[in-house]
Structure 1
Amino acid sequence: MTRAFVFPGQGSQAVGMGRDLAANFAIARQTFDEVDAALAQPLSALMFEGPEDQLTLTENAQPALMAVSVAVLRVLQAEKGLDLARHARFVAGHSLGEYSALCAAGALTLADTARLLKLRGQSMQKAVPVGVGAMAAILGADLDAAREIAAAASAEREVCTAANDNAPGQVVVSGHKTAVERAMKIAAERGFKRAILLPVSAPFHCPLMQPAADAMAEALAATTICAPVVPVVANVTAEAVSDPAAIRSLLVQQVTGAVRWRESVLYMKAQGVTELVELGAGKVLAGLAKRIDKDLAALSVGTPADVAAFGPV
């Protein structure tokens, strides 16, 4: 068995996440305390108790999801002897999850990762006023079809681009709300079964996020990035990267670039990976993996019960 460990993105958050881990494992409590200290914010209390509207704010959801993912990893290291350098072929993460993957692989410290994600969330929200941008999932469309729909929906001063290639038949477009709404109408006219407006507060992974990319470029330039102990499959290229300078550049590009998740999973499969292990809140990536390649085993580890059931490394 050849494993890759993957880390979820925004949308997997839920009030109560991480609470049982903290109650059962000292290393999980320590992880959440470290994140709280790095942010000078009681983020763990928000994760455990809510309120939901505060947890779902981008600037809180991003570091919170990372904290749970890293806590799960550390629990597996302590309880099961997991060593990514020996037991993983790759790590990868969906959007913000790429930061979780880099932290897990030792490229970024936990404190730096938390601060970067807080800034990333704040910068993404500030880049576009609430209500101006939107994202929509075009169900049934492949990447080429979604790109054609987005191009048809774009106007001279209105952006619409394919932002997330999540799985066959699930591509997300992002941009100005009026352009995204046009894309949804065009998708229906072209016979695609459904287009769903996503409950997000900003149009992620499109050119409108350039101010956020500029902010992240400045922050990342001042952050130490080490070579990861295992290669990271980058969202922007859907290929493995280990060079710190390349990682820094790709993280900046990632803010405005598309998340090539389907291609990333297929790349890992082509490189010999037989099982994806999702670490953190929810089970979104494990579900997508089964849609991308039915022969690829996938499981999620996010609770004490999942930890107990996790097989030999």
Structure 2
Amino acid sequence: MRAFVFPGQGSQKVGMGVELAAASAVAREVFEEVDDALGQKLSAIMAEGPEDALTLTENAQPAIMAHAIAVLRVLEQEGGISLADKCDYVAGHSLGEYTALCAAGAFSLADTARLLKLRGQAMQAAVPVGEGAMCALLGADIAKAQALADAAAGGEVCTVANDNDPGQVVLSGHKAAIERAIAMVKDFEIKRGVLLPVSAPFHCPLMQPAADAMAAALAKCPPGALRVPVFANVTAAAVSDPAEVQRLLVEQVTGRVRWRESVVAMQAAGVDSFVELGGKVLGPMIGRCVSDVSVASVVTMGDIEALAKEI
């Protein structure tokens, strides 16, 4: 069994999609459709930067999605591959869940781009710049990370935001609490804590205003039927009911990204082949979460051609 998985924020880089657009009219159409949907030349920012413009959450989120969907569309239309025939589940890391739902047919490309633009703006606006922060804990399992978060909170928000793999957990919350957590890592036998270069504290209760904004947006643009089930971030379980998908997308804004558990659950469901589309971030995480699976990362035209032959 196979799962197609889609990367989250942090996988953007200037020049993304340039080689693909040069090689494929299908990819160019994806980037043009996203540009039209957003009323901005996002494809130019993806191709040429500047980097600080691409890193802006409201640009990074739709850009990462557009790149991954371009890879998928080229695979489908030029590689002769049907997602519904060749994969059993989809999943994505944080914003990648929207990409996964677009891939599965629950949202159109244009709607996905608009939802992610809004999601990025709402997440950025939820907490004043400088008040929130996130840190990666290296050499920490979920139990150690939770204990550290509880100890560092001191009456402020300090929660586990991402459980990425057995050795990497991300905390999110008030800046002072996150700084306390980094200073306390050795007390909890954690190798080190690294402050992340993010503009807001994602996936924690401080994001409630953004969750409210997404609830309103998704009420106007609800997901439709899925061609294949999605493993949801907040439950680490397969979901195919659109109403449940909608509820979980709202919960996801403030909830934990249970990526490690999702990978383990997908393997338990029979998945032995993972294909990351549009990035090379999730593959290494998957390899650290489970063994006896194949993992492929598909970004370039060469990657797409190799995968099309293999599957």
Q: Smaller-chain TM-score range? A: over 0.9
Q: Which amino acid aligns with 2:102?
A: C
CA-CA distance at 1:130 after TM superposition = 1.1
Partner of 2:273: 275
Partner of 1:173: 171
Matches of 2:227 and 2:86, distance apart in 1: 11
Q: Which amino acid aligns with 1:172?
A: V
- Map 1:107-118 to 2 at 5 A: 107-118=106-117
The answer on whether the counterparts of 1:80 and 1:312 sit within 8 Å (CA) in structure 2 is no
Partner of 2:219: 221
Partner of 1:41: 40
Matches of 1:278 and 1:93, distance apart in 2: 9
- Map 1:143-222 to 2 at 5 A: 143-156=142-155, 158-222=156-220
The answer on whether the counterparts of 1:206 and 1:258 sit within 8 Å (CA) in structure 2 is yes
Partner of 2:30: 31
- Map 1:1-313 to 2 at 5 A: 2-156=1-155, 158-280=156-278, 282-310=279-307, 311-313=309-311
3-state SS of 1:91 partner:
strand
Count of aligned residue pairs for this structure pair: 310
CA-CA distance at 1:145 after TM superposition = 1.3
Q: Which amino acid aligns with 1:112?
A: D
Q: Which amino acid aligns with 2:120?
A: G
CA-CA distance at 1:140 after TM superposition = 1.1
The answer on whether the counterparts of 2:144 and 2:188 sit within 8 Å (CA) in structure 1 is no
Matches of 1:190 and 1:61, distance apart in 2: 34
Which runs of no fewer than 5 residues in structure 1 stay unpaired?
A: none
CA-CA distance at 1:188 after TM superposition = 2.0
Matches of 1:139 and 1:230, distance apart in 2: 34
Cα deviation, 1:19-39, whole Å, max 9, x if unaligned, reads: 111110111000000000000
% same residue: 65
Matches of 1:51 and 1:188, distance apart in 2: 38
CA-CA distance at 1:296 after TM superposition = 1.6
Q: Which range moves more in the overlay, 293-302 or 184-193?
A: 184-193
Which runs of no fewer than 5 residues in structure 2 stay unpaired?
A: none
Matches of 1:212 and 1:44, distance apart in 2: 25
Cα deviation, 1:216-240, whole Å, max 9, x if unaligned, reads: 0000000031111000000000000
CA-CA distance at 1:83 after TM superposition = 1.1
3-state SS of 2:4 partner:
strand
Matches of 2:274 and 2:80, distance apart in 1: 18
The answer on whether the counterparts of 2:140 and 2:167 sit within 8 Å (CA) in structure 1 is yes
Q: Which amino acid aligns with 1:201?
A: S
3-state SS of 1:171 partner:
strand
Which 4+ residue blocks in structure 1 deviate beyond 3 angstroms?
none
